[in-house]
Chain A
């Protein structure tokens, strides 16, 4: 095998520019320099690809941020969907579904049930030892009336 030597081949420029490229290039450069020398106004700078892409990126990020924030807000509301339903509607629903008070208590979390008994604004129950006999009788009447409704 003959060993190739760089001196064996005629040296010549491997690539050529397209025809008239250099005439056009010097004119293009001249125009670019004239613009540079004249100085570019601020609005031209803002319309340059670098600045407009940055502005677009900021707008997109704000848009995505708002979308995510709104979605999170909606998710929080979704966590307690019963908050949006009136108590009367709930009672009506339970009435037509024939759910008894016992079934309802069984379905409720124990702590939640206790919490709802002691903090329910409508009934405002008091511990038994602080009640008079009369108040206690009234409370039993009230509870038995509610059981009948359910």
Chain B
């Protein structure tokens, strides 16, 4: 189903809830993946995903279609992830090093994570990145978004994003090589 069809259903008051249900079904898997890569724990990802769709529901009437629906939902998901991680750090007074260790410990216990040594090393290296850089890296590496799309999601310049991604990739490669 196309974004346009989903939005049409949502715009019609008689089919708004049905349209929203279609939107959830359409985006739940990609948004879960985005969130899970950031928060690692499944239960946390579930909480954040629900918050994302609640925000989408609240804001859908004001969505003016200046951006693609996917971009708008992705932006909400990114913000929710960053807010969740910031709250977690504030709550436990954790510096970046400890939060990445905690996330990696959760990643290691995760049944979904491939057990291969190189996969684990890669995840460990990704978790060493600052949250915003990790978000950008995931968007480009896993979701293969264009830098222009990432720029419209994050509201940063394409040049800055390219530099950030290449720096992140270099750090990861060096970390995995040294580990």
A residues sitting closer than 8 Å to B (CB atoms) are 1-6, 9, 11-18, 21-22, 25-26, 28-30, 32-34, 36-37
B28 contacts A26, C-beta separation under 8 Å: yes
Judged by a CB distance under 8 angstroms, whether B69 is at the interface is no
- Picked from B17, B33, B40, the residue with its CB within 8 Å of the CB of A13 is B33
* Distance to closest chain B CB from A5 (angstroms): 6
Q: Which residues of B contact A2 (CB under 8 A)?
A: 177
A17 contacts B112, C-beta separation under 8 Å: yes
Residue of B nearest to A28 (CB): B50
Judged by a CB distance under 8 angstroms, whether B37 is at the interface is yes
* Distance to closest chain A CB from B165 (angstroms): 11
- Picked from A4, A5, A16, A33, the residue with its CB within 8 Å of the CB of B20 is A33
Q: Which residues of B contact A26 (CB under 8 A)?
A: 21, 24-25, 28
Among B78-86, B89-97, B114-122, the stretch that binds chain A is B114-122
B177 contacts A4, C-beta separation under 8 Å: yes
* Distance to closest chain B CB from A31 (angstroms): 11
CA distance A63 to B175 in the complex (A): 56
Q: For chain B residues 37-85, which have a beta carbon within 8 Å of chain A?
A: 37, 40, 42, 46, 49-50, 53-54, 57
Q: Which residues of B contact A16 (CB under 8 A)?
A: 111-112
A22 contacts B37, C-beta separation under 8 Å: no
Q: Which residues of B contact A11 (CB under 8 A)?
A: 141-142
Judged by a CB distance under 8 angstroms, whether B105 is at the interface is no
Q: Which residues of B contact A25 (CB under 8 A)?
A: 24, 28, 32, 46, 49
In the complex, the 3 A-B pairs of residues with the closest C-beta atoms, listed nearest first:
A16-B112, A4-B176, A4-B177
Find the residue from A6, A9, A15, A36 having the highest chain B CB count within 10 A.
Answer: A15
B112 contacts A29, C-beta separation under 8 Å: no
* Distance to closest chain A CB from B32 (angstroms): 6
Q: List 24 A-B contacts (CB under 8 A).
A: A2-B177, A5-B173, A6-B141, A6-B173, A9-B122, A11-B142, A13-B142, A14-B123, A15-B36, A15-B107, A15-B112, A17-B32, A17-B112, A21-B32, A22-B25, A25-B24, A25-B46, A26-B21, A26-B28, A29-B50, A29-B53, A32-B50, A33-B20, A33-B53
Find the residue from A5, A29, A30, A36 having the highest chain B CB count within 10 A.
Answer: A29
CA distance A5 to B110 in the complex (A): 25
A14 contacts B114, C-beta separation under 8 Å: yes
Q: Which residues of A contact B112 (CB under 8 A)?
A: 14-17
Judged by a CB distance under 8 angstroms, whether B4 is at the interface is no
Judged by a CB distance under 8 angstroms, whether B129 is at the interface is no
- Picked from B40, B142, B177, the residue with its CB within 8 Å of the CB of A1 is B177
Beyond the given pairs A3-B173, A16-B111, A17-B32, 4 more chain A to chain B contacts, judged by CB atoms under 8 angstroms and listed by A's residue number, are: A25-B24, A26-B24, A30-B21, A30-B24
B20 contacts A22, C-beta separation under 8 Å: no
CA distance A33 to B60 in the complex (A): 13
Residue of A nearest to B122 (CB): A9
Q: Which residues of B contact A13 (CB under 8 A)?
A: 33, 142
Judged by a CB distance under 8 angstroms, whether B172 is at the interface is yes
B37 contacts A14, C-beta separation under 8 Å: yes
